[in-house]
Amino acid sequence: MPIIEIYDTTLRDGAQGEGISFSAKDKVKIALKLDGLGFHYIEGGWPGSNPKDMAFFELIKNHRLNNARITAFGSTRRPGVTADRDENLQQIIKAGVPVATLFGKTWDFHVQHALQTTLEENLLMIKESVAYLKEQGMEVIYDAEHFFDGCMVNREYAMATLQAAQEGGATRIVLCDTNGGRLPNEIYQMVAAVAGAINVPLGIHCHNDGELAVANSLLAVQAGAIQVQGTINGYGERCGNANLCSVIPNLAIKCGLESIPDQNLKEITELSRFVSEVANMHPLSNQPYVGGSAFAHKGGVHVSALLKNPRTYEHIEPEMVGNRRRVLVSELSGVSNLLYKSKELELGLGLEKEENRKLLEELKELENRGYQFEGAEGSFELRLRKAFHGYQEPFSLENLKILIEMRDGTVYSEAIIKMSVGDRVVHTAAEGNGPVNALDNALRKALDESYPQIAGMQLADYKVRVLEGTDGTGALVRVLVETGDGHCTWGTVGVSTNIIEASWQALVDSIAYGLLRLETKEEEDPEKITGVFRGKC
């Protein structure tokens, strides 16, 4: 079997996803990352459609790529216009890249109603456009838009469009499930049929409107395709494209086929999170292979089996794709979850100890009262260390007062705080743009002299959830705080009928845990920092 080519279209098709916008420099960063992992083609955009895409093509020329070929995307010539006079084709040439990817109409319905031209003219448009760019010295990949839908309606014409691309000199013909609605068996049958009728190597381009883009891409490979087009994290228009973060591991681990070099497979998780960060999109925790929950275990029965052999509930080793195993503690947990976390944190708890079961029951009771430790492993570890490791918080509250005043239609908040910090008592105050912000500022101000390190800890996220809406404004609320230091993030939780008290609990845990992390980092090898940090660094 040949190496399966990975064609990334994150920078073009992925950027068409709702809420995603890359700058030209963002595109360069992603392109260099993809090249470093051994991707074969990187589609940079549609030159002429917007200044940003052309700026990317200019910027990327300043970088030497070791593996990937940059491609420019565009359509076949317009009806009634010769290829050498078509502005779209001229813009592709101006991009100065070695590869052009042209899309053309395969479905007779689109030819007649979208292009509003004849079927014969469309065949000439495909053949002449491909041939013209070949004459300019470019490699030309032909994307057969709506191929599968067109083939279902008019197989003879759909095949004729592929023949036209072949006659024009296309180096790859890519069959596109543009509407994302075809089933795996349909994809397999049609790709296999084309593979027996066309001499040009085939590719596959699937959208995910039926939640089948990855499956359809894999079936296409089994039917004879040697190139898979997709995007990182499945970004793309409507429901997205085939997710290359799933396609690549499936090809390597499940199908035994090489795409990117095997040694780079362990970089896939980091790549997924890098692109999420650049796209300013929150990573999907339940994403296969690379998501934070992909190897997370919650049920006590599962964790008990994992302690004996991870293969009992994991289809691969997480490290193969650069991910890690996580064990969650909740009301569904058993003692095994506690023991696993103890081992991860090197606390040395034993199954035979009755206090372990007692702590587990206490944690379950806390969850019953509204606490949630799945997204607040910082708070969980602090409780575990307090119970079994003699941990004591480096500060404690003596007194707290919140003042809220409205003057001239503006609300002013001030927090006055008295705390014991080591052998000192600190009494201070701070203002904020709200009571929680004032509270956070006062806490940091009180600790600043003793722990200047907290200046590097910043609030990354703050969420409030009402747990019992029927109680109105007196309802129980849960506050989840995410804090980061530029390298790692950690979550902490507080629960109360008073949002200020719940926020205080979460804020105190966030600072205490950040200080614990720094202390641990100083005492141990950085690779042995507690599990929660390994997962979010």
Residue 476 belongs to domain spanning = 457-537
Element (H, E) at 194: helix 184-195
Q: What is the mean pLDDT of residues 212-216?
A: 98
Query: Could you tell me if 85 and 40 lie in one domain?
Result: yes
Query: Could you tell me if 342 and 232 lie in one domain?
Result: no
SS3 17: coil
Q: What is the mean pLDDT of residues 68-73?
A: 98
Q: Are 480 and 506 in contact (CB under 8 A)?
A: yes
Query: Could you tell me if 52 and 150 lie in one domain?
Result: yes
Name which of 53-57, 186-190, 252-256, 431-435 the model is least confident about.
431-435
Q: Is 377 a domain residue?
A: no
Q: Is 383 a domain residue?
A: no
Q: Is the pLDDT of residue 316 over 60?
A: yes
Q: Is 440 a domain residue?
A: yes
Q: Measured between alpha carbons, how far is residue 249 from residues 214, 345, 535 in Å?
A: 11, 30, 20
Residue that finishes a domain, picked among 430, 450, 470 = 450
Measured in Å, how far apart are the chain's first and last C-alpha atoms? 37
Q: Are 126 and 164 in contact (CB under 8 A)?
A: yes
Q: Is the pLDDT of residue 309 over 90?
A: no
Query: Could you tell me if 59 and 95 lie in one domain?
Result: yes
Q: Is 290 a domain residue?
A: no
What CATH number is associated with residue 429? 3.30.160
Residue that finishes a domain, picked among 227, 250, 279 = 279
229 vs 332, higher pLDDT: 229
- Report pLDDT digits (tens) over 100-126: 999 999 999 999 988 999 999 999 999
- pLDDT at position 535 is 37
Percent of the chain scoring above 90 in pLDDT: 64
Query: Could you tell me if 325 and 462 lie in one domain?
Result: no
Query: Could you tell me if 142 and 256 lie in one domain?
Result: yes
Residue that finishes a domain, picked among 368, 386, 419 = 368
Q: How confident is the model at residue 205 (pLDDT cuts 50, 70, 90)?
A: very high
410 vs 132, higher pLDDT: 132
Q: Is the pLDDT of residue 469 over 70?
A: no
Query: Could you tell me if 72 and 213 lie in one domain?
Result: yes
Query: Could you tell me if 43 and 115 lie in one domain?
Result: yes
Helices 300-308 and 335-345 pack at an angle, to 10 degrees, of: 50
Q: Is the pLDDT of residue 245 over 80?
A: yes
Query: Could you tell me if 198 and 98 lie in one domain?
Result: yes
Q: Are 99 and 41 in contact (CB under 8 A)?
A: yes
Please list, in sequence order, all residues whose beta carbon lies within 8 angstroms of the beta carbon of residue 472, skipping any fewer than 6 positions away.
none
Q: Is 200 a domain residue?
A: yes
Q: Is 533 a domain residue?
A: yes
Q: Is 216 a domain residue?
A: yes
Task: Indicate the pTM of the whole model.
Answer: 0.75
Beta-strand runs (E) in 12-160:
41-45, 69-75, 99-105, 139-145
Query: Could you tell me if 345 and 311 lie in one domain?
Result: yes
Q: For residue 130, which of 203, 76, 71 has the smallest C-alpha distance?
A: 76
Q: What is the mean pLDDT of residues 32-57?
A: 95
Q: Is 109 a domain residue?
A: yes
Number of domains observed in the structure of the chain: 4
Q: How confident is the model at residue 310 (pLDDT cuts 50, 70, 90)?
A: confident
The rounded mean pLDDT for the chain is 88
Query: Could you tell me if 129 and 237 lie in one domain?
Result: yes
Element (H, E) at 490: strand 489-496
Query: Could you tell me if 27 and 74 lie in one domain?
Result: yes
Q: What is the mean pLDDT of residues 25-34?
A: 96
